[in-house]
Amino acid sequence: MAGRADGEVDRVLDAGMDRLHEVVGRNLSDDPALRQLTEEASTGAQLPSERTKLRVLLALEQAHDSDTGFAVDLQRAVEHLCSLAPPPDAPPSGDHIVFQHNTFHGPVQAKGVQHIHHGGDAP
């Protein structure tokens, strides 16, 4: 059951990210900063360079300030993604454990390999 729930969460997040990508791409498709960001992402970089982040931020701010339709679309896409995040006080899920005062809260899932050796047959 948890696997299907995780799959549904992933699907919803992917759809939200696709929506954000479409809004930004539609409005900044010719911007050199967005092309640079796309190029950096295609190399497998986990994060863009600081310069690229700044250039994209400035391009987004410019588009936001000059195009009210883009501003509304961008705000809606971002708000939708933010609504998908768990509240800060939500209990952890999956294989995360929170320890507080010698107790833990949240589901526990064990992962790994256990080696048990008995008496004389130990290596």
* Per-residue model confidence as pLDDT tens digits over 63-105: 999 999 999 999 998 888 888 776 666 655 554 444 444 444 4
Percent of the chain having pLDDT more than 70?
62
Q: How many angstroms separate the CA atoms of 2 and 86, rounded?
A: 16
- What's residue 7's pLDDT? 67
Q: Is 48 helix (H, G, I), strand (E, B) or coil?
A: coil
Q: Measure CA of the first residue to CA of the last residue in the chain; give whole Å.
A: 40
Pairwise pLDDT comparison (28 vs 107), residue with the higher score: 28
For residues 44-71, b (16+ Cβ closer than 10 Å) or e, as one string?
A: eeeebeeebeebbeebbeebeeeeeebe
| pLDDT tier at 112, thresholds 50, 70, 90 | very low
Share of the chain above pLDDT 90, in %: 25
Read off the pTM: 0.59
The first and second tokens of residue 32, run together, are: 């050199």
Please tell me the distance from the alpha carbon of residue 85 to that of residue 105, in angstroms, as a whole number.
19
